[in-house]
Chains A and B, each alone.
Chain A
Amino acid sequence: MSFETPDDRRYLESHEWTTTDGDAVRFGISDFAQDELGDVVFVELPDAGDEVTAGEEFGVVESIKAVSDVYAPVSGEVVAVNEDLFDAPELLNQDPYGEGWLIEVEPAADADFDALLSPDDYRDQIE
């Protein structure tokens, strides 16, 4: 099975992605991750204004069969939360890189995107 791994993002070994452009970046989980989890039924996310720290958990994604923490690719302040997921968690399965995004973060000044996995590195990891 092959999974989508868009080239315009960076990844974590734990299967989260982040965009890299703009004042605020978006976090989500990869196509591989949503497939592993199966039907997502519940998402717990921080509130706007909360701080997240690179490498630390910022939320929880639960499928019918599993509970999974999600980790922040970079540090920063949460500026938006995808509240659509509370009523429609299946968006994570249907569109993990689009409508299934989790939170929007204003990266801290020292946020280090270069330390994250490139799309090629991440593809190597999941293949």
Chain B
Amino acid sequence: MARRKPPLHAVHEDRGARFTDFGGWDMPVEFDSIRTEHSAVREAAGIFDVSHMGEVEVAGPDATTLMQRLTTNDVTALDPGDSQYAAITDAEGVMHDDTVVYRLPDGTPAGEAADGRVAAGRNGDEPAYLFIPNAGHDDEAYARWVEYRDEHALDADVELTTGEWAMVAVQGPDAPELLFEATEVGSEGIESTAGGADAAAVRDLSKFEATHAAVAGVESWVARTGYTGEAGFEVLCPTPDAEAVWDAFDCQPCGLGARDTLRMEAGFLLSGQDFDPDEEPRTPYEARIGFAVKLDTEFVGRDALERQKEEGVDEKFVGVRLLDRGVPRGGYAVTDGPGGDADDAEDGEETTGAEIGHLTSGTMSPTLNEPIGLGYLRSEYANAGDRVGVVVRGEEKRAEVVIPPFIDT
């Protein structure tokens, strides 16, 4: 199957980006170097093209019920302009994806959110949502929503609109100021945006809040969300306007390589890697995102998760920091520690520790210059400071359990 190309593909090619396949999309993985891009986000600001993320819009009288049944968080807590992180679980409580759910202005018809503010109210005062499945998971999410709606005869429109939206993330300590500047111009077609009203609205956003605002004159959905552990925004705009929005930010372009190292330092899960219904079946409690599970709501997987919460989990998602030289990577085994002192491990003695888990992600942290990993360990070993071993190419390295994030966020 041909890879899908994000709307900015040609722009990235001209900039000399290196590309990789991610979730069926041909995405920029590196513009300059991962270290350069990573540091820009930690110290100043960087911009990411994340148009490979999916979009599904849900609206209608039963939209809230449908969202509530298929996500683990409590959608009724959202007012228009609020958002929340949630998992999408099956009846066993196993995560198929994680997502951010935005509540749009009331009356926004499903499939028309990219029109911006002018779409609000077209559908009376019916609730409307936009949620963001991960790259390559949008078809599955859409099918799941439609199937559940039809099975339960719910009155809600569901539209898969990934192709209609471009999405960029502007992240880093300088990102807010860049956003305020880019929204200062307002929107030609919308009188109420004159005089910096949009910039003011964007300035007022707290974490996980969102608003319509014109970015470089382009009507967009601007959210104070991100995947780096830094301050920043994600901007969704209509596909044809992607370049105008991208060009509005004078900062370091960043690829998926830096996105990955940044999210690992922040301890964020990567769908399909740190959990996956087939390769790495995990519940939100194992994955340490219990905060996004509201058992007092009704959703697919709730009963299984309630049982697990009572019984406790056997394994937990934690971080590790290597104390010996080496780089942890996804798939490496974690043991209860090298039998002898560090010198034995350095000499490449046989692995002596018993396996207590495995890593799902790992890298050399560009910020800390330390080898860090993420993965699942048996709960009794999943405490900060516990000494464990990580088997790197047959050699057991000393490591220490860290409860993520690895950096101050």
Contact = CB atoms under 8 A, between A and B. Distances in A.
Interface of A: 1, 38-39, 41-42, 44, 60, 62-65, 67, 86
Interface in B380-396: 393
Greatest chain B CB density within 10 A among A41, A65, A67 is at A65
Interface stretch (B51-59, B72-80, B201-209, B324-332): B324-332
Contacts of A63: 34
B260 to A, nearest CB: 8
A38 B364 CA distance: 13
B30 A38 contact: yes
B363 interface: yes
Interface of B: 16, 29-30, 33-35, 257, 260-261, 325-327, 329, 363-364, 366, 371, 393
A54 to B, nearest CB: 22
B325 A42 contact: yes
A15 B120 CA distance: 57
A105 B17 CA distance: 37
Nearest to B29: A65
B364 A41 contact: yes
B366 A64 contact: yes
Contact of B33 (A39, A42, A67): A39
A65 B327 contact: no
A64 B325 contact: no
Nearest to B38: A64
A64 B393 contact: no
A44 to B, nearest CB: 8
Given A38-B33, A39-B33, A62 B257 contact: no
Nearest to A67: B329
B35 A39 contact: yes
B60 to A, nearest CB: 43
B404 to A, nearest CB: 18
B393 A86 contact: no
A41 B261 CA distance: 13
Contact of B327 (A38, A67, A86): A67
A1 B16 CA distance: 9
A45 to B, nearest CB: 11
A38 B34 contact: yes
Nearest to A62: B327
A62 B325 CA distance: 12
Contact of A64 (B16, B257, B326): B257
A64 B34 contact: yes
Contacts of B366: 39, 64
B389 to A, nearest CB: 17
A34 B243 CA distance: 32
A51 B99 CA distance: 52
Nearest to B364: A41
List 6 tightest A-B contacts by C-beta distance, closest first.
A41-B364, A39-B35, A64-B34, A62-B327, A42-B327, A65-B257
A44 B29 CA distance: 25
A38 B257 contact: yes
Contacts of A41: 327, 364
Given A39-B34, A41-B327, A65-B29, 14 more contacts: A1-B16, A38-B33, A38-B34, A39-B35, A39-B366, A41-B364, A42-B364, A64-B257, A64-B363, A65-B34, A65-B257, A65-B260, A65-B363, A67-B327
B266 to A, nearest CB: 16
B347 to A, nearest CB: 11
5 contacts: A38-B30, A42-B327, A42-B364, A64-B366, A65-B29
Nearest to A36: B18
A76 to B, nearest CB: 22
A41 B16 CA distance: 23
A84 B40 CA distance: 27
Contacts of A86: 325
A86 B364 CA distance: 14
